[in-house]
Amino acid sequence: MEAHAARERKRAGSWRHALESRRVLAPLLIAPAVVFMAVVVGVPFVWAIYLSFTDAIGGSLSGHWVGFDNFTAAWNDDNFRRALRNTLVFTLASQAIVVVGAAVLSNFLVRDFRGKWIVRFLVVLPWAAPVVLSTIAWLWLLDSLYSVVNWTLARLHLDNAIVSLLGATHIEEGAQVPLQWLGRPNLALLAITIVHAWRILPFAVVIFIAGRASIPTEVEDASKIDGATGLKKLWYVDVPLQLPIALVAVLFGIVFTAADFGVVYILTHGGPFNSTQVLPTWAYAIGIDSGSLGEGAAISLFLFPLLIVVSVAMLFFARRAQVS
Amino acid sequence: MTLRGRLTTYAVVVPFAIFLAFPFYFALVTMFKTNLDLANVEHSPYVYNDVEGHFHWDFWNYATTEHVRFLFEDTNYPRWLLNTLVVGAAVVGITLLLALPAGYALARLAGGWGQSAGIAIFLVYLVPPTLLFLPLSRLITQLDLKDSLWSLILIYPSFTVPFATWLLMGFFKTIPQELEDAALIDGASRLKAFFLIILPISLPGILTAVIFAFSLCVNEFIYAFTFISTSEQRTVSAGIPNDLIRGDVFFWQSLMAAVLIPTIPLALLYNAFLDRFIKGFTGGAFR
């Protein structure tokens, strides 16, 4: 009896001891989160890869092995190629706007000025608003009949300038109609790019400001002593120091623009005539609407190489930032 | 700052603020517009007008709340708000349960490999729902969870857990190690030190993780859109575009009210917790 009790005590003691050791406790605390993510992200991810090699249709979870047929079928479809091109165009164009905008705006937002809090509140709004909801507000801004953008352009007598600039058809069957921002391919491409830039910009601004704040004041002083001013200072001091953290904002923007479904789906449904489809909306159209689960999965997997590139870049810069 | 410096600042900052906030100002004007005022293309869309299209300074007499009332009395909107709150609260609970221990362990116990593991977990956050929604939608049907809020409660932590783990790891790193060491020397166990010392100090950080994880749930669209097809079970992000936009008939005033109502409290919370968010978000990698 006594020996048993002692053994119990000893076991309890070693348990407690084990819980105190980092080597045991750390994996124990991390494991639940990792297991959960493996189940809800890892499994569907592997499954998506499997499905893309089968002829699975809606309503089933498996199908017959068809090799690369889904990928070649997708690739040979003009709509797919347009979706791929649009994904790249929207992503690169909107992020270019974001980088320039965020660099300029963050430069001024770090200054002290009266009314800064209200400016900050307004600037952060597009980030705080649920993206689908703010996109509905844009849908109203760009309405085919009541667009406030057109109303304003017309009052400023700029509507004809926009028409000739963008080569958009303004006259239809002899009657003048408002600019169809979401009804003409080139205008819709522009509108979607702007909405993406608009919604990512606040996040980038906030991250850029954090990057600026992370530069030690000693650097500022040293560059002043060494006589680095203006463009020279910008190029040799500010840019290299802010680059890693600014890149994080850009990589984020790339992922969240390229993989976004809501903006295009709400604004145009991929139309007119599939001219604004992107990979996620096209995957939805094929995988859910047409029920070709396998091909839909193959289409969405075309996002994967992009993610790899972004992830590797992210790891690289995170490591470099740590070293410096 | 010199006068010139101040003027340049305003000249840059104000146009940006107008561009970024304009859709929300316009939504605010639209939600109280009368049908006659809205439908007349000659009327200024920026303000409220009388039947002739003239603006008056007592503009509230030319506006109406009937469309906001319609939204709350004749649509499922209140139900969607409630669903969103329920899903958000449940997901935040699950998220904290998984991310708090993981974030703490990565910041404090894991040593050298903690940083790499943290980044690896963060990369999971970058795996987009648009890549996973097809197999997941089939899986949800097989589990008999279609049209149930449980499907969202089960799947949403797939992005909130990696996000919150990263954020919390960043917060825990900012807490001085000495505080914990002192408690350990005094004979407290690690778990006790965590609950009595670390947790109370990190409360602002945890609250930040709660708010941003909740807002990710409100934002989510493609899962809510594919998993749930009955109107009563939708969340706001899926309900508004699905059920309030019918064919060519747009109830613009009600729609704009539906857009603004969740946005305003979220915007206030974002502003209140923005600095903390940045600290945690960048603290994980750039220390």
| Portion 178-237 of B in contact with A at CB < 8 A | 189-191, 215, 218-219, 221-222, 226, 236-237
What does each C-alpha distance from B143 to A223, B136, B138 come to in angstroms? Answer: 62, 10, 9
Pair (B142, B7) in one structural domain: no
Query: Do B40 and B60 lie in a common domain?
Result: yes
Share of residues in chain A with pLDDT > 90 (%)? 42
Q: How many domains, chain A?
A: 2
Better-scored residue on pLDDT, A64 or A98: A98
Q: Are residues A194 and A251 both part of a single domain?
A: yes
Q: Are residues B195 and B170 in the same domain?
A: yes
Q: Which residues pair with A175 in a beta bridge?
A: A172
List the domain range (segments joined by +) for residue B60: 3-70
ipTM value for the complex:
0.92
Please say which residue of B50, B70, B90 terminates a domain.
Answer: B70
pLDDT digits (tens, 9 = 90+) for A244-287: 777 888 888 999 999 999 999 999 998 888 999 999 999 999 99
Is A169 inside any structural domain?
no
Task: Give mean pLDDT, residues A152-166.
Answer: 78
Could you tell me which chain B residue has the CA closest to the CA of A36? B158
With respect to residue A6, please indicate whether it lies within any of the assigned structural domains. Answer: yes
Strands (DSSP E) found in A128-208: 171-172, 175-176
Based on the fold, state whether residues A119 and A15 are members of the same structural domain. no
Which residue, of A52, A77, A94, is where some domain finishes?
Answer: A52
Q: Is residue A154 part of a domain?
A: no
Q: Are residues A128 and A189 in the same domain?
A: yes
**Interchain pair A261, B161: CB under 8 A:** no
- Let me know whether B168 and B279 are in one domain: yes
Which chain A residues have a beta carbon less than 8 Å from that of B156? Answer: none
- From chain B, the residues in CB contact with A254 under 8 A are none
Q: In this structure, are A90 and A11 located in the same domain?
A: no
Cα(B234)–Cα(B258) distance, integer angstroms? 14
Does one domain contain both A40 and A86?
A: no
What is the chain A residue with the closest CA to B161? A33
Contact at CB, A266 and B110, closer than 8 angstroms: no
Are B65 and B83 in the same domain?
A: no
Residue A311 resides in a domain: yes
Is the CB of residue A143 less than 8 Å from the CB of residue B281?
A: no
Same domain, A214 and A268: yes
B168 interfaces chain A, CB cutoff of 8 Å: no
- How far are the Cα atoms of A38, A123, B4, B17 from residue B14, in angstroms, in the given order? 46, 10, 15, 5
Across B156-195, b (16+ Cβ under 10 Å) vs e yields bbbbbbbbbbbbbbbbbbebeeeebeebeeeebebeebbe
User: Is A219 part of any domain?
Assistant: yes
- Partner residue opposite A280 with nearest CB, options B6, B30, B130: B130
Q: Work out how many domains chain B is built from and give that number.
A: 2
CB of B259 closer than 8 Å to CB of A134: yes
Stated length of chain B: 287
pLDDT grade for A2, boundaries at 50, 70 and 90: low
The CATH number for B169's domain is: 1.10.3720.10
Task: Report the pLDDT value the prediction gives residue B287, as an integer from 0 to 100.
Answer: 46
Mean pLDDT, chain A, rounded, equals 84
Q: For residues A95 and A39, state if they share a domain.
A: no
B112 lies within 8 A of chain A by CB:
no
**Contacts with A112 from chain B: Cβ below 8 Å:** 1
Which CATH number does the domain housing residue A87 bear? 1.10.3720.10
Suggest the residue from B18, B67, B130 to mutate for an interface test with chain A (most A CBs closer than 10 A): B130
pLDDT at A233: 72
pLDDT at residue B115 in the model: 78
Q: What CA–CA distance (Å, rounded) separates A254 from A252?
A: 5
Residue A127 inside a domain? The answer is yes
Residue A223 identity (one-letter amino acid): S
Q: Is A156 helix (H, G, I), strand (E, B) or coil?
A: coil
A48, A73: one domain = no
For B33, phi then psi, to 5°, come to: -80, 145
A38 pLDDT exceeds 80? Answer: yes
What separation in angstroms does the CA of B62 have from each of A136, A168, B44, B46, B253?
25, 36, 13, 13, 14
Q: Backbone phi, then psi, for A149, in 5-degree steps? A: -65, -45
Range of the domain at A227: 69-142+181-323
Residues A95 and A209 in one domain: yes
User: Are A213 and A248 within one domain?
Assistant: yes
pTM: 0.89
**What pLDDT does A324 receive?**
42
pLDDT band for position A138 (50/70/90)? very high
CB under 8 Å to B248, separation ≥6 — which residues?
none
Query: Is the domain of B204 the same as that of B130?
Result: yes
* Cβ proximity of B177 and B248 under 8 Å: no
User: Is the pLDDT confidence value at A290 over 70?
Assistant: yes
Indicate if A6 and A135 belong to the same structural domain: no
- Statement: residue A10 has pLDDT above 60: no
Residue ranges, chain B, pLDDT below 70: 1, 246-250, 283-287
Asked whether residue A136 falls in the same domain as residue A2, the answer is no
Query: Which one of A17, A21, A30, A279 makes the best mutation probe of the B interface by having the most chain B beta carbons within 10 Å?
Result: A30
Q: Identify whether residues B151 and B14 lie together within a single domain.
A: no
d(CA B52, CA B38): 12
pLDDT digits (tens, 9 = 90+) for A96-106: 999 999 988 99
A64, part of any domain: no
Judged against a pLDDT cut of 70, whether residue A175 lies above it is answered with: no
* Partner residue opposite A20 with nearest CB, options B27, B128, B190: B190
Give chain B positions within 8 Å (CB) of A41.
124, 127, 132, 158
pLDDT of residue A8: 56
pLDDT at A126: 96
Answer yes or no: is A162 within a domain.
no
